[in-house]
C-alpha cells in the first residue's frame, strides 16, 4: 500500500465541500468543483472520486456525475454549490444541491453512486410549494441529507450571513431542517429551526453554513462551519432537536490549537465545509484548504479524529500525513505542496501585492483533469513552511528542487519555533528547476519538518527529498 498525504486527491483537482459516504466497499467523495484560476466558487461541474475502504491511497476518478447544463432552468450565476448524496429506500442515489442565488434545494437521481445523475425535481411541500421560492421562506443552502436507521429522512440546510434576508425576502434564520417523505423530495414536516441565529453564543462558535448530520454510537453529530475558524459540531440524542454545542473538530489553519488563532493562522484562513465518517473502526474528518491566494481554488484534506467514550471529539491539528494513519516515511521524495503550515509575516500587505509577491501554493497552466504540477511560490524572508509528520530513522541528507532568484540560507527545524537543526546555503538565479542538497541528520518516530529562508530575493519550491 502506498502512502497518502494531504491533499488526498491529485494536485490538479480542486474539490471543496467534501461529503464522504460509504456505498458498498468504497468511499465516495461528493463535493463542489472549483476551477483553478476561477473568479467564483464552484464553477465546474460535479465530479466524483472514490477509494476502496482497505486502501485510502488508491483514489479513482469516477468522472463527471452532473453538469450545470442539466439543471432545467436558469438562476443567477448558474453555479452548482455544495452537494450531498444519500441512498434512498428504493436503492437509488439522490444528489441534493442548490444552484447559486436560487435559495431552493434541487435533487438529481441515479441508479449507481457515481453514474450520470438526472434532474429529479425541487424540494417542495405537499401542496406543491417549492421551499425557498417565496418571500418569507427559509433560505435553502448547503444540503446535509441523512437517512436514519428507523427509515426517517432528514434534510438540513441554512446560511447565516450578517443580514437577515436576501433581496427576495428569503430569511437567513440559522440551521433548519425538513423531514422528507419516502419519495425523497416532498416535505413531510418542517422546515424547523435547529440552530437559531438569535441564540446567544460566542462569535467563534456561531453557525454560518455547511450542516452535515452523522450518527455514531447512538449519538447525532451536526457538523457545521463557522464564518472563519474551522468545522465545529453540535451533539444530540435525537436527529431533530436537543442539540448542545460540542466544540471545534478541525481547522486547516490550526485556529484554536498549537497557539494559533484567526489573527495568527498556521495556514491562510478561509471558508470550510466537510463532514465525519467511520471507516473500518477509525473516524475521519474531511475538510478543505485554500490555494493560489484565492477562496476559489480549494482542495480536499482529511484527518483522523478520535471520539471519546462520552461522545466528545477533541480538535485535531492539520497535518501533511492525513489519511496515512501515521507519519510519512523520512526517506523518499515528496511534493512541496503537501505543506500544512504556510505562514507569511508579510500577509498584511494588500491583496494585490499578495498576488504579486506573497507566498502561496499554486500551479502552472490552466485548470485541467490530469498532470500534477503544484508548487510553493515566492518563498522569502519572514515565511515559514511546515510539514507534519515524518518518521526520520535513516535520513542523512535533504534535497530541495528550487528555482528563482535568491541568496541566503534555508534553515530547518523539527518544530515551528524550535532550534535550527540544519542550514543549507542557497544561491539560485534560474528560471529552471535546480537541486540543492545538504546534510540533515534527525531521528524521531514523529517529527515535524519546517523550513525558513534567511537572505535576499525569493524562490519557488517543487519537491523535498530525504536520502540515506
Q: Which residues are catalytic?
A: 17, 209
Q: How far apart are CA 340 and CA 320, in angstroms?
A: 6
The grid coordinates listed for 278 are 467511520
- φ, ψ of residue 259 to 5 degrees: the values are 80, 10
CA atoms within 13 A of residue 204's CA, in its CB half-sphere: 11
Query: Grid coordinates standing for 172?
Result: 437567513
Q: Which residues contact 66 (CB under 8 A, 6 or more apart)?
A: 45, 46, 80, 83, 95, 97, 108, 116, 117
Contact 465, 332 (CB under 8 A): yes
State how beta strands 118-122 and 106-110 pair. antiparallel
Grid coordinates standing for 19? 461529503
* Phi, psi torsion values for 234, nearest 5 degrees: -110, 160
- What cell numbers appear for 38 in the block? 476561477
DSSP state of 2: -
Residues 6+ apart with CB under 8 A from 136: 169, 170, 171
DSSP string over 329-387? ESSEEEEGGG-SEEEETTTTS-HHHHHHHS-EEEESSS--SS---EEEEEE-TTEEEEE
Sign of CA dihedral 67, 93, 53, 209: positive
Amino acid at each position: 500500500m502506498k502512502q497518502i498525504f494531504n491533499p488526498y486527491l491529485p494536485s490538479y483537482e480542486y474539490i471543496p465541500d467534501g461529503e464522504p459516504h460509504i456505498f458498498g466497499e468504497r468511499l465516495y467523495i461528493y463535493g463542489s468543483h472549483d476551477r483553478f484560476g476561477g473568479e467564483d466558487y464552484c464553477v465546474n461541474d460535479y465530479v466524483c472520486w472514490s477509494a476502496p475502504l482497505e486502501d485510502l491511497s488508491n483514489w479513482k476518478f469516477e468522472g463527471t456525475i452532473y453538469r450545470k447544463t442539466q439543471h432545467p432552468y436558469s438562476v443567477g450565476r448558474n453555479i452548482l454549490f455544495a452537494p450531498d448524496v444519500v441512498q434512498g429506500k428504493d436503492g437509488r442515489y439522490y444528489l441534493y444541491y442548490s444552484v447559486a442565488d436560487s435559495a431552493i434545494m434541487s435533487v438529481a437521481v441515479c441508479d449507481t453512486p457515481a453514474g450520470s445523475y438526472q434532474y429529479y425535481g425541487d424540494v417542495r411541500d405537499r401542496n406543491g410549494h417549492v421551499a425557498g421560492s417565496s418571500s418569507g421562506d427559509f433560505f435553502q443552502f448547503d444540503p446535509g441529507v441523512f437517512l436514519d436507521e428507523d427509515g426517517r429522512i432528514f434534510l438540513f440546510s441554512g446560511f447565516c450571513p450578517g443580514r437577515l434576508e436576501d433581496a427576495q425576502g428569503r430569511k437567513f434564520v440559522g440551521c433548519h431542517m425538513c423531514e422528507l417523505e419516502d419519495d425523497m423530495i416532498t416535505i413531510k414536516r418542517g422546515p424547523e429551526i435547529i440552530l437559531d441565529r438569535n441564540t446567544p453564543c460566542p462569535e467563534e462558535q456561531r453557525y454560518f453554513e455547511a450542516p452535515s448530520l452523522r450518527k455514531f454510537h447512538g449519538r447525532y453529530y451536526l457538523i457545521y462551519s463557522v464564518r472563519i475558524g474551522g468545522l465545529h459540531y453540535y451533539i444530540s440524542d435525537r436527529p431533530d432537536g436537543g442539540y448542545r454545542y460540542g466544540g471545534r473538530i478541525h481547522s486547516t489553519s490550526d485556529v484554536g490549537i498549537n497557539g494559533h488563532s484567526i489573527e495568527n493562522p498556521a495556514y491562510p484562513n478561509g471558508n470550510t465545509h466537510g463532514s465525519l465518517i467511520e471507516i473500518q473502526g477509525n473516524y475521519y474528518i474531511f475538510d478543505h484548504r485554500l490555494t493560489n491566494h484565492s477562496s476559489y481554488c480549494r482542495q480536499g484534506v482529511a484527518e483522523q479524529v478520535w471520539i471519546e467514550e462520552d461522545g466528545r471529539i477533541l480538535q485535531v491539528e492539520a497535518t501533511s500525513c492525513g489519511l496515512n494513519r501515521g507519519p510519512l516515511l523520512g526517506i523518499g521524495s515528496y511534493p512541496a505542496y503537501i505543506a500544512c503550515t504556510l505562514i507569511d509575516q508579510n500577509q498584511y500587505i494588500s491583496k494585490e501585492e499578495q498576488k504579486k509577491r506573497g507566498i502561496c501554493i499554486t500551479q502552472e497552466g490552466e485548470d485541467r483533469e490530469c498532470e500534477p504540477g503544484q508548487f510553493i511560490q515566492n518563498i522569502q524572508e519572514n515565511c515559514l513552511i511546515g510539514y507534519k509528520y515524518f518518521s526520520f530513522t535513516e535520513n542523512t541528507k535533504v534535497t530541495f528542487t528550487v528555482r528563482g532568484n535568491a541568496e541566503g540560507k534555508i534553515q530547518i527545524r523539527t518544530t515551528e519555533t524550535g532550534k535550527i537543526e540544519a542550514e543549507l546555503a542557497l544561491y539560485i538565479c534560474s528560471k529552471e528547476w535546480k537541486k540543492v542538497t545538504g546534510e540533515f541528520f534527525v531521528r524521531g518516530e514523529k517529527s515535524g519538518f519546517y523550513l525558513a529562508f534567511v537572505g535576499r530575493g525569493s524562490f519557488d519550491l517543487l519537491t523535498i527529498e530525504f536520502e540515506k
